[in-house]
Amino acid sequence: MKQDRDTVASFIQRKGHSNRVLLDTDGETAKKYRVVGIPLSFIIDKQGIIVEKLVGEVDWKSSHIRSKIKGLL
């Protein structure tokens, strides 16, 4: 949020993240989606509708998350 590409890339590399990250240099996307904390992840269905908003670190291998995603496939 409001960070340049190099700063974000450095953070991602340092933390070892492999998920996609939205670069929001002007903060407009954060405002639109009411971002209240970082990291923030969204689970989006095939129609592009947000079905879950997850604030904080996410264990993508957890049974809750896996079943949520499986239900959308």
Q: What is the mean pLDDT of residues 36-48?
A: 87
Q: What is the mean pLDDT of residues 27-32?
A: 90
Q: How far apart are CA 17 and CA 22, in angstroms?
A: 13
What is the CATH classification number for the domain harbouring 12?
Answer: 3.40.30.10
Q: How far apart are CA 2 and CA 33, in angstroms?
A: 14
Q: What is the mean pLDDT of residues 32-61?
A: 88
Instruction: Report how many domains make up the chain.
Output: 1
User: Is 0.85 surpassed by the pTM of this model?
Assistant: no
Structural domain of 62: 5-72
Q: How far apart are CA 73 and CA 60, in angstroms?
A: 15
Q: What is the pLDDT of residues 12-26, one digit of tens each?
A: 899 887 778 888 989
